[in-house]
Amino acid sequence: MKIEQKVLKAMNEQINKELFSSYLYLSMSAYCESENYPGCAKWLEVQSNEEREHAMKIYRYIHERGESVELEAIDKPKTEFKNLSQLFAMVFDHEQKISASITALYETAMKANDYPTQIMLQWFITEQVEEEKNAHEIVDLLKKVGDSPVSVMMFDRQLGARTGK
């Protein structure tokens, strides 16, 4: 059963968005490394790897359905940030945009009566709820931490405890 072209196009676009997410979080990780926040750098590196896996999940699915993946150029991510609060606020905002994109992709699959794609996208919808929750918790924690160097060091250590899925 072939994928309707409109759905396939949207899925290929989502691969690009997931790969950009991976690239953005890797850029954020590099920034954190350069600012001596190794825990934040690790958290963002794990996040980058997860986003690449999300892209690959869609990539594999398209091939399983007998279609072709069309990769596009990935935009250059931001490389400079004011501070950790701004950086993680951007993470939260970005995750909200990805959630909206996944929802739009799901709606496209619904309109095309593409039930297999809708089922596959259920995983992404659930994942995005978790992604937004995690990012929002970090933003809230940073608000509580404030500018206290000791608190920021403890925050950085806490994020460094993250392991991959």
Tokens 């929750």 found at: 133
Confidence category of residue 145, pLDDT binned at 50, 70, 90: confident
Q: How many CA atoms lie within 13 A of 30 on its CB side?
A: 10
Is the pLDDT score of 64 beyond 60?
Answer: yes
CB of 40 closer than 8 Å to CB of 84? yes
Helix and strand element counts for the chain (H, E): 5, 0
Q: Beta-carbon neighbour count of residue 59 at 10 Å?
A: 19
Q: What is the pLDDT of residues 84-110, one digit of tens each?
A: 999 999 999 999 999 999 999 999 999
Q: Can you tell me the mean pLDDT for 129-138?
A: 96
Q: Can you tell me the mean pLDDT for 98-123?
A: 98
**C-alpha span between 54 and 128 (Å, rounded):** 11
- Helices 115-145, 149-160: axis angle to 10 degrees equals 150
Closest CA to 15 of 93, 115, 132, 7: 7
Is the pLDDT score of 165 beyond 80?
Answer: no
Full set of structural domains in the chain with CATH: 5-71+83-160 (1.20.1260.10)
pLDDT given at position 82: 94
DSSP string, 83-148: -HHHHHHHHHHHHHHHHHHHHHHHHHHHHTT-HHHHHHHHHHHHHHHHHHHHHHHHHHHHHHHTT-
Tokens 């701004």 found at: 86
Two structure tokens written together for 64: 């399983």
Instruction: Tell me the chain's radius of gyration from C-alpha atoms.
Output: 17
pLDDT given at position 146: 84
Is the pLDDT score of 5 beyond 80?
Answer: yes
